[in-house]
Amino acid sequence: MVEIDVKPNELLLNVLRDRFKIKSVKYGCGIGECSLCTVLLDNNPVPSCLILAVDVNGRDVKTIEAFENDSIMNMIQRIVLENSSVQCGFCTPSIILVIRRMIDENVDGLDKAREYLKGNLCRCTGYISILNSLIEIIKNIYRK
């Protein structure tokens, strides 16, 4: 648990980036549409650009960095890299974080997995490589 004084109007996104120097949480649209600023708040993916920092008091906030030594996360990252699902890398942390949450919820169908990624905008990959990664991740997790 980390405690920090925040201003009443300070966004979680800005606290994470500016105060904690967590750069995996990106600023994109500022209106919760692109998912580049996704964090897990009490294990639910949320856009940190819409959350006031004061509202996370006593709650669990995780960024991709929280999974640094996580074997499942390492597998996800390996598969994403092997399938060329990373180009500029701007959207990658949020997509990988959402995929990790999807696995925690035992989502095993591609259609359901697509729903998880629905709001994640990627301007570079065209999504085919990301979907190919999802298929391989699902196979690896559920051995299908």
Q: Is residue 39 predicted with pLDDT exceeding 90? A: yes
Q: Are residues 31 and 72 in the same domain?
A: no
Residues 48 and 100 occupy one common structural domain: no
Is 2 domain-assigned? no
pTM recorded for the entire structure? 0.88
| DSSP of 87-100 | SS-SSHHHHHHHHH
Q: Which of 21, 41, 65 is the last residue of a domain?
A: 65
Which phi and psi angles does 56 have, rounded to 5°? -100, 10
Q: CATH code at 97?
A: 1.10.150.120
Range of the domain at 89: 67-142
The number of folded domains in the chain is 2
* Interacting residues of 80 by C-beta distance below 8 A, sequence separation 6+: 86, 92, 95, 96, 130, 133
Same domain for 71 and 61: no
Return the pLDDT at 115.
82
Are 129 and 75 within one domain? yes
Within a domain: 3: no
Residue written as token pair 């259609």? 111
100 with 132, same domain?
yes
Whether residue 53 is found in the same domain as residue 40: yes
Domain assignment present for residue 73? The answer is: yes
Same domain for 29 and 72?
A: no
User: Is the per-residue pLDDT at 66 higher than 70?
Assistant: yes
Domain end point (choices 38, 65, 92): 65
Confidence of residue 144 (pLDDT cuts 50, 70, 90): low
pLDDT score, position 4:
92
Q: State the helix-helix crossing angle for 71-82 and 92-104, rounded to 10 degrees.
A: 130
pLDDT tens per residue, range 47-64: 999 999 999 999 999 999
Is residue 3's pLDDT more than 90?
no
Residue 46 and residue 85 in one domain: no
The per-residue pLDDT for 2 is 85
For the chain, what's the residue count? 144
22 has pLDDT over 90:
yes
Residues 34 and 73 reside in one and the same domain: no
pLDDT tens, position by position, 85-141: 888 888 889 989 988 998 888 877 778 878 878 888 888 877 788 888 888 888 888
What pLDDT, on a 0 to 100 scale, did the predictor assign at position 24?
Answer: 95
Query: Does residue 82 share a domain with residue 133?
Result: yes
